[in-house]
Structure 1
Amino acid sequence: MDILLISEYILIIALIIFMIAAIRITTHKTIAMGLIGSATFSLALAILLVIVGSIYNIEFSKDIALALIILGVVGTIAFSVALRRG
């Protein structure tokens, strides 16, 4: 096996552990911690999509990851504005 492929698999394992930690942060008591956890989870999922897409030569995974990152930021900003008003 190539050293790049081994490092990509190690990164996938690390991202899965990071996503489990983000789920734990999301289930915290405050709304702000839930928002941070969901934004972290979506970022880890986007990176995971890019890595898996590069391993298995899936072309549209980069487009899905880009849309996920852009919509995640927009949703986070909209939710924080709504929290500030209420």
Structure 2
Amino acid sequence: MIKKSHADIYKKFRRKYTDTLQALTQHTQKLIINKKSEIKDSLENEFRDKGFACQHQTNRAKMFQAELSSFHVRKFA
């Protein structure tokens, strides 16, 4: 079993967080372009996209919290 250091977990989280942030940024840019060019996306699609982005970010945070707490249990128990 490979022991993960605090730094390894942080790097992994940082990479996942950065990927999520990039996806959210791209989605926001798409919405801005659509608004400026007055392209109307259906409300259902827009709501679904925002909900998906929020859920994705929430899932990442939960995964990181679980990983971090299991690390603490192994390290300090």
Band the TM-score falls in, shorter-chain normalisation: 0.5 to 0.7
* Corresponding residue number in structure 2 for 1:48: 22
Per-residue deviation, residues 3-52 of structure 1 (Å, max 9, x unmatched): xxxxxxxxxxxxxxxxxxxxxxxxxxx72221221122222222222212
* Corresponding residue number in structure 2 for 1:65: 57
Q: Is the 8 A contact 1:42 1:72 kept in 2?
A: no
Segments of structure 1 that go 5 or more residues without pairing to the other structure are 1-29
2:74 aligned with 1:74: no
Provide the TM-score with structure 1 as the length reference: 0.48
- 2:65 & 2:20 partners in 1: Cα distance? 12
Q: Is the 8 A contact 1:42 1:68 kept in 2?
A: yes
* Corresponding residue number in structure 2 for 1:27: none
Q: Which amino acid aligns with 1:33?
A: A
The structure showing larger relative contact order (alpha-carbon pairs under 8 Å, at least 6 residues apart) is 2
Segments of structure 2 that go 5 or more residues without pairing to the other structure are 32-45
- When the two structures are aligned, how many residues end up with a matched partner? 56
**What percentage of residue pairs aligned between the two structures are identical?**
5
Q: Which is higher, the Rg of structure 1 or of structure 2?
A: 2
Task: Note the aligned Cα RMSD (angstroms).
Answer: 2.3
